[in-house]
Structure 1
Amino acid sequence: MARSQSFGKRENEKKKQAKRLEKQKRKEDRMTGGTTSLDDMIAYVDENGNITDTPPEKREKTEIELEDIVIATPKKEDMEPELLKGRVEYFNAEKGYGFIKDLASAEKYFFHISSAPEGICEGKIVNFELERGTRGMNAVRIVFAQ
């Protein structure tokens, strides 16, 4: 014996059946519409990124020499590092580091005891070079100023 369905279930089944029939009809229409060639299905993209159904025009290809390509970053040239002059603002001999204040720009730079001369102390005038460290610019190759 068949179960009785509620009104909502019957309506849902009718809708599903109607969708199936519509899908089947569309499929049959495509099949009877004839075959389409592969050329009708191909799309082309022009130089601006627009999709068209016409193939692009044939153009002469220009050869580009490798030497003609310019890179945005300038080539690093061998330059002598600039010697800066500064005063030792702070030095802790126990911890082995200090800070040098540049006399020209008033910037302070960290230095480690390994790059400082023997006998360095606060208040001494020194010449130094800069190198980029993990936390910023560091004073290296420190020598006492004459």
Structure 2
Amino acid sequence: MLKGFKNFMMRGDVVIVAVGLIIALAFSTLIKAFTDNVINPIITRAQGGHSAGLGWQLGDAGNDATYLNIGSFISALIYFVIFMAVVYFLIVVPYKVVQAHRGITVFGDPAPAKTCPACLSEDIPEAASKCRYCGTDQPVVGRG
């Protein structure tokens, strides 16, 4: 059992994913610091005055539990977009290039599929002549 686990952990794909995750976590910390220390003050200043942030106080003044902080939401949204862009351009794109050099297509478009008229399964390959689930003959899809 331990030998199987060791073999699983030493597969190249698992190591690549682990390294990618570590890099993503490091970028996450960097981007979080950027949004907290650069974006949040800009958003807070947009409200003007001595406000605690961009938002509205729904209850007693000074009660953080009833403060609707739209600025924090905008900051989190900016954080998410920046983080996903970093992951895509620094992890996914290079991984696709390396795998393409190895002759492997990753993150490609899904294969064309059709829906079985009998059981309504939506993942039947376009070239299939029978449904894999119910065995119903499938109509031939013309190409051209």
Short-chain TM bin: under 0.3
Between Structure 1 and Structure 2, the one with more strand by share is 1
Between Structure 1 and Structure 2, the one with more helix by share is 2
Q: TM-score, normalised by structure 2?
A: 0.24
Of structures 1 and 2, the one scoring higher in RCO (CA 8 A, sep 6+) is 1
Q: TM-score, normalised by structure 1?
A: 0.23
Structure possessing the higher radius of gyration over alpha carbons:
1
